[in-house]
Structures are given as C-alpha cells and as structure tokens.
Structure 1
Amino acid sequence: MADLSNLARQAASRPKFVAHMIAAYQQEKHLDDAALVAQLGCSLDDLIHLRLCTLPRPDHFQEDIERIANPTQRPMN
C-alpha cells in the first residue's frame, strides 16, 4: 500500500485527480488523514483509493460519480 500512498501524494499536485481537491479541503479545514477518514467514515485504504480517482468529467458526471462511489463496479440499485 506504500506505493499507492506515494502515488496518491503525487496526485495531490495534479488538478485532474480527486487528491487535489482533498488536499485543498484538508488544508482549508486543518485536517490530517486520521481526522478526514473519521469525518468520511472510511478507512485510510479507502481514502488512498479515492485520492487516485480522476475528477468526474462534465459530460459523464453521473457515470463517473458512480465509478468513484462504487469502485467495485457492482450495480448501485
């Protein structure tokens, strides 16, 4: 998981990744990772995977949100 964690850290400097938005939010709210996962109700591993997602594309917004929210690709019905 260390490799993914390093990639997620690098993704924070790239605006097309969710990591970029998360980093901005954490900075604004003065949250470390432990506080953020507590707020989100997820694990640190989940947070790492979330950071590595690309931001939703405007023309595929719903599809991309479902992909981000449901990384296993199981139907959300």
Structure 2
Amino acid sequence: MAPGCLIRDVQNGVLGKRDSMLALCYLGLCHSVIEDTLLILMLGADVAGVLWARLLFAVVVVAVIARWPATEVSNK
C-alpha cells in the first residue's frame, strides 16, 4: 500500500490515524530490505539471517510503538 493510498483512506475515514501511522512506520523500516540485504551479502553475511533479522526488528519496533500510550496534544 503506497503512502498516497494511506492518506486517501485516512481522509475518507476508512483507516484510523493511528493505524496509518503504524503502517507508515513499518513501511519506513522495511522499505529497503532488498538493497540493504544485497549490501550486507557483499560483506559475506547469510541471506536468511539478514532477512529474518530485518523483518523481526521491524515487527518488534512497530509492536512497541503500537503499545505506546496514546497522548493527546492540546493547542493552548
């Protein structure tokens, strides 16, 4: 799902703001999985280890962000 589709869905009320923020965080963490993996492979790393570690890191970070307490920002 492209960020433009996320923005459209939030504006139409299909997707909540918190859900779109989590999706964008995940996209940001995983957007360059292929390129980074190829770079690390050139240094001699294991492809499966790098891909699984990258995916696990992204899921853990998004899970922590999802559990973070929501705060209201007031304009005083």
> How high is the TM-score relative to the length of structure 1?
0.27
> How high is the TM-score relative to the length of structure 2?
0.27
Which structure has greater helix proportion?
2
